[in-house]
Amino acid sequence: MSPRPDALARLAAHTAERAKAGLRRRLRAFDHMDGPWLERDGRTLLSFCGNDYLGLAQHPQLIAALKRTADDEGVGSGSAHLIAGHRAEHAALEEALAEWTGRERALLFSTGYMANLGVMQALLAEGDVCVQDKLNHACLLDGAKLSGAELKRYPHADVEGAARQLQSRPGACALLATDGVFSMDGDVAPLRELSALCAREGATFMVDDAHGLGVLGPEGAGSVAAAELSQHDVPVLMATLGKALGCFGAFVAGRASLIEGLVQSARTFVYTTAMPPAMAAATLAAVRVAREDAWRRDKLQSLIRRFRDGAGQLGLPLMPSDTAIQPLLIGDANHAVMAAEALESVGFLVGAIRPPTVPQGKARLRITLSAMHEDDQVDALLEALSGLPWATEV
Ligand SMILES: *Cc1c(COP(=O)(O)O)cnc(C)c1O
């Protein structure tokens, strides 16, 4: 009998391979954050890579709510929601999220990753089919795999392709899931068309609005609200609290029957510790600010236009996005890393996104804008981008 393969040695070999291919991911700690400014090793960098789209992560009202609740309730929730971890703060936040998104009920999850795993595992089983956009977030794809359903992907934003995938499994229980705003591309899914398709095909429609909530739609209610789709049209709505809301965690919203079903069956809800109540209180404050401060969305939109106009004039490889996510397509992974390093050397922090996060040959700079940026900061970034060799060649 040949000896067993060693799991640790195999992992080490895989890591070495990634490094050799120039795809090593590096974990580095920042010392301090102040609005869009990040400090590391005594250097201050202007960040264009965060997801704090409305600039709420350091908002005084959120911080005050967090402190106040921590003073009264302490830090950890102490147990799972179904035991004794569910507090008045969680219930109030769930109610506010349901009201904001126009759904009957909402249910908190510890992270967006867990929400998607939990929803899919609760809704789907072996023999079912889960139809997804090729560019969906990794956790939607993982959720489908975990559920045991057959995962069928369609070309990006291709409604006909989605229809073909659904029709290839007539009679099977089907869930169609899409990002609302695509996390690495910034474009918005054809939500109305996909919703109509699901209605025609008898499939359940699920939207992950991690990057739309707070940013798009009336009062920032998200991409689904912007598309004027109701709870009936999009029965499963998931969104995260760690992006535009500047906090942490996620929720699923929909009919009371969906939420009750998740309480019974979503393993990533049942078998995990409830989010700290102080975090729920801070998030409730974030929901209020996000709804009320329309100026944050207006300012963000104006920065997006400024960036796109400027980048267009410079001939930079913009992608078709009107959201806070403004990638510049580079192609080669090493070139993307070199461009990000060149930007960092002149004081800008921009993410270099490489395979497997994006498809082969589609490496990019992922530039994200936030209401906390100023016009002159966007201009300075454009100036730095115009100085990159790849930019002038395009
Ligand atoms: C960030 C993200 C998630 C994961 O949410 P976390 O709360 O960070 O785990 C899920 N879906 C999409 C589209 C995301 O961008």
Whole-angstrom Cα distance, residue 220 to residue 54? 10
Place of tokens 């139809």: 131
Q: Which residues contact 106 (CB under 8 A, 6 or more apart)?
A: 94, 95, 97, 98, 251, 252, 253, 259
Tokens of 39: 């400090």
CATH code: domain 24-54+294-386 is 3.90.1150.10
Q: Mapping DSSP to helix (H, G, I), strand (E, B) and coil, where does residue 205 land? A: strand
What is the C-alpha separation between 304 and 323, in angstroms, rounded?
Answer: 7
CATH entry, 60-292, from 3.90.1150.10, 3.30.470.20, 3.40.640.10, 3.40.50.620: 3.40.640.10
Atom of ligand 1 minimally distant from the CA of 248: 7
Per-residue model confidence (pLDDT) at position 24:
83
Distance 117 CA to ligand 1 centre (A): 11
| Contact by Cβ (8 Å): 36, 377 | yes
State the amino acid at position 185 in one-letter form: D
What contacts 294, CB < 8 A, 6 or more positions away? 219
Catalytic residue, chosen from 90, 243, 362, 373, is: 243
- Residue 219: exposed, middle, or buried by beta-carbon count in 10 A (0-12, 13-18, 19+)? middle
State the sign of the Cα–Cα–Cα–Cα dihedral 111, 116, 122, 123.
Answer: positive
Structural domain boundaries of the chain?
A: 24-54+294-386, 60-292
Question: CA-CA distance, 180 to 171, in Å (whole number)?
Answer: 27
pLDDT value at residue 23: 80
| 211 tagged catalytic | yes
Does the annotation count 59 as an active-site position?
Answer: no
Answer left, alpha or beta for residue 190, where phi above 0 means left and psi between -120 and 50 means alpha.
beta
Calculate how far, in angstroms, residue 347's C-alpha sits from the geometric centre of ligand 1: 27
Rounded Cα distance between 167 and 181, Å, is 25
Strand-pair category, 150-154 with 129-133: parallel
**Residues contacting 9, CB < 8 A, separation 6+:** none
Separation between Cα atoms, residue 96 and residue 268, nearest integer Å: 22
pLDDT value, residue 53: 98
394 residues of the chain, pLDDT tens digit each: 788 999 999 999 999 998 988 788 889 899 999 999 999 999 999 999 999 999 999 999 999 999 999 999 999 999 999 999 999 999 999 999 999 999 999 999 999 999 999 999 999 999 999 999 999 999 999 999 999 999 999 999 999 999 999 999 999 999 999 999 999 999 999 999 999 999 999 999 999 999 999 999 999 999 999 999 999 999 999 999 999 999 999 999 999 999 999 999 999 999 999 999 999 999 999 999 999 999 999 999 999 999 999 999 999 999 999 999 999 999 998 899 999 999 999 999 999 999 888 999 999 999 999 999 999 999 999 999 998 876 444 4
Residue count of the chain, please give it.
Answer: 394
Query: In the chain, what are the helix, strand and coil shares in percent, each to the nearest 5?
Result: 45, 20, 35
Pocket test for ligand 1, best of 120, 137, 223, 325 (most atoms within 8 A of CB): 137
Closest atom of ligand 1 to 211 CA is 15
Q: Where are the beta strands (DSSP E) in the chain?
A: 32-34, 37-40, 43-47, 105-109, 129-133, 150-154, 174-179, 204-208, 236-240, 250-254, 325-331, 348-349, 351-353, 363-368
With the most atoms of ligand 1 within 8 angstroms of its CB, the residue from 139, 224, 366 to mutate is 139
Query: Which residues make beta-bridge pairs with 352?
Result: 365
Establish whether 243 is a catalytic residue.
yes
How are beta strands 43-47 and 37-40 bridged, if at all? antiparallel
Residues framing ligand 1 (Cβ under 6 A): 111-113, 137, 139, 179, 183, 208, 210-211, 240, 242, 250
| pLDDT at 26 (0 to 100) | 85
Q: Ligand 1 centre from 239 Cα, in Å?
A: 8
CA of 28 to the centre of ligand 1 (A): 21
Strands (E) in 148-271, as ranges, are 150-154, 174-179, 204-208, 236-240, 250-254
Contact 52, 371 (CB under 8 A): no
Residue nearest to atom 6 of ligand 1 (CA): 112
Q: Which residues does the annotation place in the binding site for pyridoxal 5'-phosphate?
A: 112-113, 183, 211, 240
> Which atom, in ligand 1's list, is nearest to the CA of 137?
13
Catalytically annotated residue among 183, 195, 223, 370 = 183
Of all atoms in ligand 1, which is nearest to the CA of residue 241?
7
